[in-house]
Amino acid sequence: MTRELLASLDEAFDRRSWHGTNLRGSIRGLDPATAARRPKPGRHNIWELVVHAAYWKYDVRRRLTGEKPGSFALAGSNFWRRPTLKLEGRGLSPGHAKEWKRDVALLGAEHKRLRAAVEAFPKSRWGRTVPGKPGTFAWMVRGVAAHDLYHAGQIQLLKRF
């Protein structure tokens, strides 16, 4: 089971698979201005989706390892406001490129940490229910892989706007 879960995580994040673009592929080569474009007021931009995906990789890892909440790299949970490109011609500051790279690196680092937690997770526990959740540990890992794919598709659409 561990091998299959790792394959699902990797195909959804950064390995070739039959479904098309994965999450890492959806942001490859993306500049901060494109990542910061908000499709409509009140909607999330690509940059916010990247940090959101990093957070949920952290959350699943934390549940696998038994780590207490509150150790994510950023204060808060789920969604963080990120720079927004002003559509009236004003761009982002040079510092935003560094921030974008930092957040993309956070996503990659959280994926690596999640993979390590899945590899180390006792095989005998995959079928057990996650405390506070309605499904098993295996269900939760499959879910975070699906989460990556959902947002990869969303990002692909946002890039076309």
* CATH number assigned to the domain comprising residue 8: 1.20.120
In this prediction, residue 112 carries a pLDDT of 98
Which amino acid, residue 97? A
pLDDT tens for residues 125-154? 999 999 999 999 999 999 999 999 999 999
pLDDT tens for residues 63-115? 999 998 888 888 777 777 676 555 434 566 667 788 899 999 999 999 999 99
| 146, two tokens | 């699906």
Helical residues (DSSP H) of 14-136, grouped into ranges: 23-27, 32-36, 46-65, 94-120
| Cβ partners under 8 Å of residue 120, min gap 6 | none
Enclosing domain of residue 100: 2-160
Cα-based angle 10, 156, 52 (whole degrees, multiple of 5): 60
The number of distinct structural domains making up the chain is: 1
In this prediction, residue 41 carries a pLDDT of 85
Average pLDDT over the chain, rounded to an integer: 90
Higher pLDDT, 59 or 97: 59
Rounded to an integer, the average pLDDT of 21-34 is: 94
